[in-house]
A and B are shown apart, each in its own frame.
Chain A
């Protein structure tokens, strides 16, 4: 148990659906992240939030929309996804956004887009 909880664990959605991924951290950290993990590719950093403010957006398509209502919760809203968006989406947190070396990851949401 890393202190970072993600739901749902698995999600299957059609290309016209709207769904949301949820992440909650119980560690008192100030920074939260969304990563995409695809086969044969390095981990891709998508978004970084520090104290509920988005500090990094790494050229992610607008069909992915993050939301951070407070320092403990992070959402990733999904709409009109493409099959190539199928992947494991990992949430992580760290004490500060600058301290990215010590990341605590959730177990991920395995997303399949049909």
Chain B
């Protein structure tokens, strides 16, 4: 069945460092791909998404490109801030019917030190 694999955390970076959180997926057809973020003590929020191959999702300085050839959707940010400390979840959704269900990765914890 469909699945999402994220790099294990925790990831610890200094402020202004470059961030990459890897996400790869297994799915039939052409899923949509998402990154959600969970700040401490809060629920998840949609960060960005991409719905077809080669699309780039972006928000708040974060970017991720839908790479069908490598079945990947890696999250990147050029210069992280302390306020980016959170848990990041990669997810996919199939195209129709029951495949519209969201399949989640385990989450990657990011800690950014000043």
Contacts and interface: CB of A to CB of B under 8 A. Distances in A.
Q: Is the interface of B mostly helix, strand, loop or mixed?
A: strand
A66 interface: no
B44 to A, nearest CB: 5
Interface string A95-114: 00010111111111000000
Interface size class of B (residues with CB under 8 A): 20 to 34
A26 B46 CA distance: 18
Interface size class of A (residues with CB under 8 A): 20 to 34
A58 B4 CA distance: 19
20 contacts: A40-B106, A42-B4, A42-B104, A42-B105, A43-B89, A43-B102, A43-B104, A45-B101, A45-B102, A90-B43, A91-B43, A100-B93, A100-B101, A101-B34, A101-B46, A101-B49, A103-B36, A105-B43, A105-B44, A108-B43
B1 interface: no
A82 to B, nearest CB: 23
Contacts of B103: 42
Contacts of A41: 106
A4 B44 CA distance: 11
